Amino acid sequence: MLGSLRQPHRAKFCAIPWIGPQAAIRKSQPAPAARLLIAVRGMIEALNTDQKRTSKLRTLLHSTELGFLLEAHNGISARIVEEAGFEGIWASGLAVSAQFGVRDSNEASWTQVMEMVEFMADATRLPILLDGDTGYGNFNNLRRLVRKLEQRGVSGVCVEDKLFPKTNSFINGERQQLADIDEFCGKIAAGKDCQLDDDFCIVARVEAYIAGWDTAEALRRAEAYRRAGADAILIHSARSTPEQISEFAREWANRAPLVIVPTTYYGTPTHVFRELGIGVVIWANHMIRSAVSAMQNTARLIHRQQNLTCVEDTIAPVGEIFRLQGADELVAAERRYLTEAHLDTRAIILAASRGRDLGDLTDHRPKAMLPINGKPLLCRLVDHFRKQQINDITVVAGYRADAIPAVGIELLVNDAFETTGELASLRCAVPNFCDDMVIMYGDLIIRDYVLRGLLDSDHELTIVVDSRASRRCVSGDPDYAYSSAPDDRGSWDEEVLLESLSGRMDTGHRRRADGLWIGMLRTRGQGRRWLQDCLDALSEREDFSALTMRELINQVVRAGHPVHVLYIQGHWLDVNSLRDLEHAGAMTAGPNDR
Ligand code: SPV
Ligand code: MG
């Protein structure tokens, strides 16, 4: 009986040159590193899912239930196939070459196909059966292909008994020449001999019907391929009805799993395939064909209408593309691994005031929009935050809010800016409060390191105090800081706590102020609650509309919460007068400051 014959080709092709002489002696001793790699990949897959992908394909082929593979041709289509519920993927030669825009005639090189199938394997957990055409050469090329597919997480390869370069079966099929049976058996045996994972599958595709041969020839070939080690037989037919397939399947009598591709006999009810005992049906090109129809339609419409509204509601939203790409996972990973980045930090910039002392310079814009060396103060601050990867920026505007471009920021408006002060503006931003925020005035010029230093602070509430400024008179309404210790520039880790902020440089009864609060603070964790509770408490006061940040910070101290002081020595400026404006120009005159 044919079925009981030994497999004649298995022993012949055991020398595997690229894994060294020792490994070439016996198939059971392949290169340890290579086997380890495959084993590790298998273990990782087994941890992620209940079964290795190669085992899944093998199980699918051998199951008594009819299984289905759907074509995919790149990473995103592979993911869509998986989400639709399919058990496996057919990496179609026709579809992969089509998405490259070339013919299904081995115009794409085998490494180009391999690259694409690797993207597909990465995009899903499904087993992938690669349409390996003729194996891209002789037995030796197939060996290398099998090794590479195993390394890249592909579960099996289908090879067809035609000649390289092949032509698609539906293009002049009857004129196509079949491979020599012995040569093709050698190819299958070589592939089987070199696979490292016992569950990797080689499917032998019989093209006898395509090339105009009869069932006897198809069976003769299928049986030879089975005996050479093929794990399943793909019997192909280009007829519009399934007669050839039925005849073959009946004669074949389940000697090995049968795989079919009913592209041309698509009208056949699926129960017919079940009754014939088919193992797996491949829907071979329906993803690329549906993509092509959708793209043709979209391109025509947009070209005709010169507008996007005609398609916007009928195509996938950009968010759906992000979802299929797994964008959320990357955002979560950034939070976990980019510990230096301040992805959860939010900036709140108070920019409601006009800056009366600046005369007609602020007739049409708020102070924060005054250009310093060509760039507005506010834009400079936004740049500082962006450099620290803080992109969540809220600006509370008031006077001439319309002059602030709301690009890359969230613009809130304190409509009562004329009759209220800083705390009323800050209260507008309460809905945007978060557990990690920097709050600052919009009229500040700072050096980068000031923000960096504040971001390095681990305390719940930290304010930036310039210890040098206590020795000079400053414009505006300065906030002098009295703290637990003066700036001892040598001891970096000394904890300094704020005792109070005051409008006076000298309290008379004790000592001079330790510095000047520059109008910048940071809250982390509970600090946000302290600030919010104190803001709530102050908002009960009748004079709330006149209150400033100074009162809020003092309220936090009075409530018994530690307010840490980060000392700096200069390198900042708040712009209140024409003189400040001149200084700001000089301070930002360097090439890196523009
Ligand atoms: C493919 O999908 O590339 C196939 C199947 O080989 S068929 O196009 O039907 O030959
Ligand atoms: Mg093909």
pTM of the full predicted structure?
Answer: 0.71
| Nearest residue by C-alpha to atom 5 in ligand 1 | 284
Ligand nearest to the CA of residue 288, numbered in listed order: 1
Q: Probe ligand 1: pick from 263, 280, 287, 289, max atoms within 8 Å of CB? A: 263
Active-site residue identified among 50, 104, 122, 533: 104
DSSP β-bridge partners for residue 515: 481
Of ligand 1's listed atoms, the one at least distance from the Cα of 170 is: 10
Ligand 1 centroid–CA 10 distance in Å is 28
| C-beta pairs of 80-84 under 8 Å, 24+ apart in sequence | 80/287, 80/324, 81/124, 81/126, 81/287, 82/123, 82/124, 82/125, 82/126
Q: How far out from the chain centre does Cα 234 lie? A: 37
- Best probe residue, ligand 1, of 77, 106, 236, 289 (max atoms within 8 Å of C-beta): 236
pLDDT in tens, 136-183: 999 999 999 999 999 999 999 999 999 999 999 999 988 899 999 999
Instruction: Classify strands 515-524 and 461-466 as parallel, antiparallel or unpaired.
Output: antiparallel
Q: Environment class of residue 206 by beta-carbon count within 10 Å: exposed (0-12), middle (13-18) or buried (19+)?
A: buried
Better-scored residue on pLDDT, 201 or 174: 201
What are the tokens at 537?
């408490």
> 498 with 521: CB under 8 angstroms?
no
Q: What is the pLDDT of residue 334?
A: 87
* Domains defined along the chain, listed by start: 2-291 (3.20.20.60), 320-587 (3.90.550.10)
Which pLDDT belongs to residue 466? 95
C-alpha span between 431 and 384 (Å, rounded): 23
Q: Which atom of ligand 1 is nearest to the CA of 90?
A: 2
Residues measured by CB to lie within 5 Å of ligand 2, the ion: 93, 131
Instruction: Give the residues surrounding ligand 1 with Cβ less than 6 Å away.
Output: 92-94, 104, 131, 168-169, 261, 263, 284-285
* Residue to substitute in 104, 136, 167, 206 for testing ligand 1 pocket (most ligand atoms within 8 angstroms of CB): 104
Cα–ligand 1 centroid distance for 234 (angstroms): 11
pLDDT band at 11 (very low <50, low <70, confident <90, very high): very low
Q: How far is the CA of 157 from the centre of ligand 2 (A)?
A: 11
Q: Is 104 a catalytic site residue?
A: yes
Residue 547, pLDDT above cutoff 90: yes
Considering only 36-40, 248-252, 481-485, which range has the smallest mean pLDDT? 36-40
The mean-pLDDT minimum among 103-117, 373-387, 577-591 falls in 577-591
Ligand 2 centroid–CA 203 distance in Å is 13
DSSP sequence for 80-128: HHHHHT-SEEEE-HHHHHHHHTS-TTT-S-HHHHHHHHHHHHHH-SS-E
Q: What would the 3-class secondary structure string for 557-568 be?
A: HHCCCCCEEEEE
* Cα 259 to middle of ligand 1, angstroms: 12
- C-alpha 252 to ligand 1 mean position (Å): 22
pLDDT value, residue 359: 81
